[in-house]
Amino acid sequence: MPGGLLTDLYELNMAASYLRRSMTGQATFSLFVRRLPPGRGFLIAAGLADCLQFLEDFSFTPDDLGYLHHTPGYGEDTLRAFASLRFTGDVQAVPEGRVVFAGEPLLEVTAPIAEAQLAETVLLNHVTFQTAVAAKAARCVLAAGGAQLVDFSFRRTQGIDAGLAVARASAIAGFTATSNVAAARRYGLAAAGTMAHSFIEAFGDEEAAFIAFAEDFPGAITFLVDTYDTGHGVRNAIEATRRLRLPGPVGVRLDSGDLAALADARIFASGGQGGDRVFVQAAAGAPIDAYGVGTKMGVSADAPYLDSAYKLAAYDGRPVMKLSAGKASPPGAKQVYRGPDGDVLALREEPPPPGHQPLLVPVMRKGRRVGAQEPLAVAQQRCRADLAWLPPAARALRNPVPVPVRLSDRLTILQDQVTRDLRRRAGVPDSPEGR
């Protein structure tokens, strides 16, 4: 979808107004998460690949313009301007797979203000959702204590493209396979799956179903043993293994009941995973080799959204911010510097503090990607490294404490100055509350 109408109406209104008034100055918008949800000590940057694709493809189709033609406020001049509008700006972003915290820009767009404004809704959508899910998936990886995790979420994700995005985000976070075949093909992931209860039921006889499946898929046999009774299911699996002289150990999958009651098999657990039960079973040392993690990871059930924002930080060389109660954010184009004692939110032109590395890198210049699209393995490697770096307090599964993020002195001074200027111009009395 080229995307001109994939946006909120107010973005189109504002863009039309900017263009009509020749407001073509460069705007910098900053996309960040205001606060971490309860129970999150970190986030994992994700969604950037879809953002870059969207920006590269951005345009209004003749159909889009035809629709707007019947919308009040969209005259011929505006439609002509929209017809030739493309995204021509620059983007800096935190690469996918990196650990990030609240208040840190995940992405900054600098472009003529109409272009940057029109991208808001889709950029927020991709980054907010995929970052939330990658963080949830990373928590599952930390909780699973070395067991393999397989994405089983496709049937319960919020839509079809959510299923694709979850498979990719969970792969970045360290999942080893997905049940979602379309996602496996698109992103080059390992596809995994065995059989459902319906297969056993259609055959009627459990052992006959196991034998048929083993004959048809001799490469990777995992028997689902809890359709009728787990004990009998395991005996039928062993019997089928013996009759077909399959090389052991046999794999069994449990989708319900007591997952820790079996020991002589490679155990694959599914059903209600991705929540606290992963933690409980891993902590109890249950002999489980792999988990199918579905619903609760796929919708990030305990934190299904992030409090994200896409805020104008500068327009036409002038740093800007709003003063709305509880929603103010520092002005100006920014950088995040990561150091041994935490992160520093700084102005982009500031040099790094000693021993600090920048998180945001240029990813798009004049509407074109910087470099080729990176392989998923690069993001996976980044995530592994950042999870290993993460201090124990931030990676804790219960009551995590994020790494501290402080404002640089220059950013603090600028924020104070812009706040004072805005209050004076708006005739608002100074008060410490609004800061």
Question: Considering only residues 258-317, where is the footprint of its own copies by CB under 8 A?
Answer: 295-296, 298-301, 304-306, 308, 310-312, 315-316
Least Å distance, CB 154 to its own copies, is: 5
Those residues whose C-beta lies under 8 Å from the C-beta of residue 125, and which sit 6 or more positions away, are: none
262: left (phi over 0), alpha (psi -120 to 50) or beta: beta
Which among 228, 230, 223 is positioned nearest to 244, based on CA atoms?
223
- Judged by CB under 8 A, does residue 432 bind its own copies? no
Q: Residue 304: enclosing H or E segment and its boundaries?
A: none
Least Å distance, CB 84 to its own copies, is: 19
- Judged by CB under 8 A, does residue 423 bind its own copies? yes
Binders of its own copies in range 113-172 (CB under 8 A) = 113, 117, 120-122, 124-125, 128-129, 133, 152, 154-163, 165
Angle subtended at Cα 37 by Cα 110 and Cα 184, rounded to the nearest 5 degrees: 70
- Judged by CB under 8 A, does residue 184 bind its own copies? yes
**Torsion angle of alpha carbons 178, 182, 186, 190, nearest 10°?**
30
As a whole number of angstroms, the distance between CA 329 and CA 155 comes to 38
Q: Give residue 3's identity as a one-letter amino acid code.
A: G
Least Å distance, CB 387 to its own copies, is: 23
- Judged by CB under 8 A, does residue 398 bind its own copies? no
Binders of its own copies in range 48-77 (CB under 8 A) = 67, 71-73
Determine contact, residues 187/168, Cβ cutoff 8 Å.
yes
Nearer to its own copies, 171 or 390 (CB): 171
Q: Residue 26: enclosing H or E segment and its boundaries?
A: strand 26-33
Binding footprint of its own copies, residue count (CB under 8 A): 112
- Judged by CB under 8 A, does residue 378 bind its own copies? no
- Judged by CB under 8 A, does residue 14 bind its own copies? yes
- Judged by CB under 8 A, does residue 323 bind its own copies? yes
- Judged by CB under 8 A, does residue 341 bind its own copies? no
Nearer to its own copies, 158 or 412 (CB): 158
- Judged by CB under 8 A, does residue 176 bind its own copies? no
Least Å distance, CB 57 to its own copies, is: 13
Nearer to its own copies, 334 or 338 (CB): 334
Determine contact, residues 266/128, Cβ cutoff 8 Å.
no
Instruction: Name the DSSP class of 191.
Output: B
- Judged by CB under 8 A, does residue 327 bind its own copies? yes
Binders of its own copies in range 191-220 (CB under 8 A) = 191-202, 204-206, 212-213, 216-220
Nearer to its own copies, 31 or 364 (CB): 31
Least Å distance, CB 156 to its own copies, is: 5
Nearer to its own copies, 121 or 358 (CB): 121
Q: Report CA 135 to chain centroid distance, whole Å.
A: 7
Nearer to its own copies, 20 or 369 (CB): 20
As a whole number of angstroms, the distance between CA 40 and CA 17 comes to 40
- Judged by CB under 8 A, does residue 30 bind its own copies? no
- DSSP annotation string for 233-293: HHHHHHHHHHHTT--SSPEEEESSS-TTS--SSEEEE-SSTTSHHHHHHHHTT---SEEEE
As a whole number of angstroms, the distance between CA 386 and CA 42 comes to 11
Nearer to its own copies, 143 or 299 (CB): 299
